[in-house]
Structure 1
Amino acid sequence: MTELQLSQRRKQVLRIVIQEYVENAQPVGSQSIAKKYDLGVSAATIRNDLAALEKAGLLTHPHTSAGRIPTDGGYRYFVANLMAHTDLPSHERHMIRHQFHQARREIDQWLRLSTAVLAKASTGAALATSPRSISNRVKHLELIGIQDTVVLLVLVLATGTLKQQLITLEQPIFQEELSRASNQLNVEIAGATAVDLPEKLEGFTGFTREVGELVLNTLLQSEEQITDRVYRHGLAQVLAEPEFTDGPQVSRIVQVFEQRTLLQEIYDDVMELSDVQVMIAGEGRFGDMQDISLVLSRYGVPDRVSGLLGVVGPMRMPYGRTVGAVRYVATLLNELMHQLYGPSR
């Protein structure tokens, strides 16, 4: 759609129609444009412009109205050629950053907060996937004697997650020996991933080796758990929009939230890109997404950890603000992930 040539005035008329329709959800006519905007031409000329934009496939009109509304092609042209890339106001950015810094230093908390923030900032529904290809790392461990033959393993992961496990021994071990084993393991395996650990554990024997194996199993389990989660927020406010008043349309947007196969395909599509992607009506690739738009971004640390973050809503979406919100939250998550996992390889 970017190759379509429009005059400056027709670009302005298209921008006005989309702006008005996004705000009011009502078809936009030539008379209302002429009254509200000083384009220096008559309503009749604007009417001709609307007809030309409709002929170009950028606008259409409901049977019951003389006004026009954007088509999916019109929205695509707008996003590619006319949209102002709007940053969130500084006070909103400051407030959002403060909320992230107040949250617990855990991926789960950050992603819950991300979806809540995006749903509020965009008036859409937000989703985020837990990071994939994640190499969780050991931060610190402690061995604490509970009873003569019962030891508590306390393991802190780089994500901030705390794992605890009881170890039953055949013979008692004094706390001094437990502390010595803890120190030895911390020196050798702090910062290690599940991939690194088997080699690092080769030099250990006995109880210390047993603890190391438990740490490895914990890392593997934490990676399995973290790859499968989708965080969601704000679906109810999207379903209140006039576009979603009938069953099929409701079903389509719920599918985006609930159908893991579709999310997998979208994830694979977006992971190839480095910036925010706007996907309107499925872009011809996802047939179940008629009348739906997604504004999506990847987040994470290249070559270490990456996830998907974005907003789902009707095509009648404030794209400039939504893109700005998604980009800002993704940038914050990138910063936080770098703190946990370090720079990319």
Structure 2
Amino acid sequence: MPTLTARKREILKFIVSEHVQTASPVASSTVARSTSLKASPATIRNEMVALEEDGLIHRPHVSSGGVPSDRGYRHFVGSLDPEATLNSAVAAQVDQEFTAVHADVEEWVDSASEILAGLMDTLAFTTLPRTAPAPVKSVELLRLQEMLAVVIVVLQGANIYKQVINLDSSDSDSAIEHARNRLNEVIVGVPANNVAARASRVGGGLERRAFDSAVTALQKHNTGSSMEKRFSGIGKLFQQPELLADPAMSQGAMWLIEDTFATSVFEEASEPGGLASVVIGEENVEESLRNYSVVVSKYGTSSTAEGIIGVMAPTRMEYETAIPAVRHLAGHLDQMTMLFYGGY
């Protein structure tokens, strides 16, 4: 990311803010009129050319003004305080709406997505909290054939996960028994989603291969468990100028809504510690989302129950509002998780 002078930073910030509001390219004359910069229109034009050369803005047409690129939005987001709070008046209104929500988990989750969609005037989504996986009850390592063995992980509650591994010619029955005993020492009693964190306690050879296979078996289980989703503001998203101009963009929204495991992409991208993650345009793993930005945060804890809340819009998103709004609502869902599932 290029280092910008104070003047370039102010010009880029203005272009982002103006484009977010107007959905139109921002002319150098508009920048010169509307900012406190003591610079001539010609100087502003030169600075905008430099921003374009740095890949922070682009011009849809040769004679048009500047539009922020994904890289420009990323630079802008990087300049924001990640712990900024929601406007106090807005926060008070949100808090008041949540005081009426007491019935059940689904009502809390539904209200969170509705409030976020209303604040951002676009698509918001939440997932119902998924309870923490059970701890490991036992591990077996059994020879199937001369060069094959199976790792069997049994969780409390009798869920069983298996993974076949290849054996080396040097892997004797006693080596298999030793590896099995070591795995039981290392991961029995550990919640299934935390087993991978025990890697440093495992040795090499068969012991390592068996451990890695156990982790793989449990990860397949985790990724195979879909999270129930809630959406609000679908109509608001489809009325955004970008989608009206390019109906093909709707494919990204439909993927998020219809694909059973779509939100797992954002679950993996979420920052720990209550911070909101921001995924911009080309940073999205899913190709159909490359014209969108997503702001998302986890809520709850991995030891009790957790879910995610997020907002999606074209990259022309009001990041300054979206980031604290998502964090604020995640805080309410944290309270809900503590109320219904305990912990903290």
| C-alpha separation in 2, matches of 1:86 and 1:95 | 17
TM-score (norm 1): 0.69
In structure 2, list runs of 5 or more residues that go unmatched: 135-224
In structure 2, the partner of 1:55 is: 53
In structure 1, the partner of 2:240 is: 241
1:287 shift after superposition: 2.1
| C-alpha separation in 2, matches of 1:298 and 1:15 | 28
Q: Is the 8 A contact 1:301 1:341 kept in 2?
A: no
In structure 2, the partner of 1:267 is: 267
| SS, match of residue 23 in structure 1 | helix
| C-alpha separation in 2, matches of 1:40 and 1:257 | 48
Q: Is the 8 A contact 1:10 1:53 kept in 2?
A: yes
Question: Between Structure 1 and Structure 2, whose CA radius of gyration is higher?
Answer: 1
Q: Is the 8 A contact 2:19 2:25 kept in 1?
A: yes
Matches within 5 A, 1:182-197: none
The structure-2 alpha-carbon separation of the partners of 1:282 and 1:5, relative to structure 1 and needing over 3 Å to count, comes to: same
Q: Is the 8 A contact 1:127 1:257 kept in 2?
A: no
| C-alpha separation in 2, matches of 1:83 and 1:74 | 17
Query: Does 2:278 align with 1:251?
Result: no
1:252 shift after superposition: 1.7
| SS, match of residue 105 in structure 1 | coil
1:135 shift after superposition: 7.8
More deviation, 250-259/318-327: 250-259
| C-alpha separation in 2, matches of 1:60 and 1:134 | 46
1:256 shift after superposition: 2.1
In structure 2, the partner of 1:7 is: 5
Query: Does 2:229 align with 1:230?
Result: yes
Q: Encode CA deviations 1:190-239: one digit per residue, 9 max, x unaligned.
A: xxxxxxxxxxxxxxxxxxxxxxxxxxxxxxxxxxxx96420000011111
Q: Is the 8 A contact 1:127 1:233 kept in 2?
A: yes
Q: Is the 8 A contact 1:131 1:227 kept in 2?
A: no
Q: Is the 8 A contact 1:128 1:309 kept in 2?
A: yes
Q: Is the 8 A contact 2:270 2:296 kept in 1?
A: yes
| C-alpha separation in 1, matches of 2:34 and 2:281 | 30
Residue 253 of structure 2 aligns with an amino acid whose one-letter code is I
In structure 2, the partner of 1:37 is: 35
How many aligned positions are there? 253
| C-alpha separation in 2, matches of 1:86 and 1:65 | 37
In structure 1, list runs of 5 or more residues that go unmatched: 137-225
Q: Is the 8 A contact 1:115 1:128 kept in 2?
A: yes
| SS, match of residue 261 in structure 1 | coil
Q: Is the 8 A contact 1:299 1:333 kept in 2?
A: yes
Q: Encode CA deviations 1:40-90: one digit per residue, 9 max, x unaligned.
A: 000100001100000000000012642010011110111012568653222
The structure-2 alpha-carbon separation of the partners of 1:314 and 1:131, relative to structure 1 and needing over 3 Å to count, comes to: same
Q: Encode CA deviations 1:114-148: one digit per residue, 9 max, x unaligned.
A: 00000011122100011113589xxxxxxxxxxxx
Q: CA RMSD in A?
A: 2.2
| SS, match of residue 232 in structure 1 | strand
Q: Is the 8 A contact 1:124 1:312 kept in 2?
A: yes
Query: Does 2:321 align with 1:321?
Result: yes
In structure 2, the partner of 1:116 is: 114
Q: Encode CA deviations 1:173-205: one digit per residue, 9 max, x unaligned.
A: xxxxxxxxxxxxxxxxxxxxxxxxxxxxxxxxx
| C-alpha separation in 2, matches of 1:316 and 1:275 | 21
In structure 1, the partner of 2:278 is: 278
Q: Is the 8 A contact 1:128 1:230 kept in 2?
A: yes
The structure-2 alpha-carbon separation of the partners of 1:84 and 1:17, relative to structure 1 and needing over 3 Å to count, comes to: farther
1:98 shift after superposition: 2.2
Q: Encode CA deviations 1:250-270: one digit per residue, 9 max, x unaligned.
A: 112221222223322222332
| C-alpha separation in 1, matches of 2:37 and 2:80 | 17
| C-alpha separation in 2, matches of 1:318 and 1:8 | 22
| C-alpha separation in 2, matches of 1:272 and 1:92 | 25
Q: Is the 8 A contact 1:15 1:82 kept in 2?
A: no
| C-alpha separation in 1, matches of 2:44 and 2:83 | 26
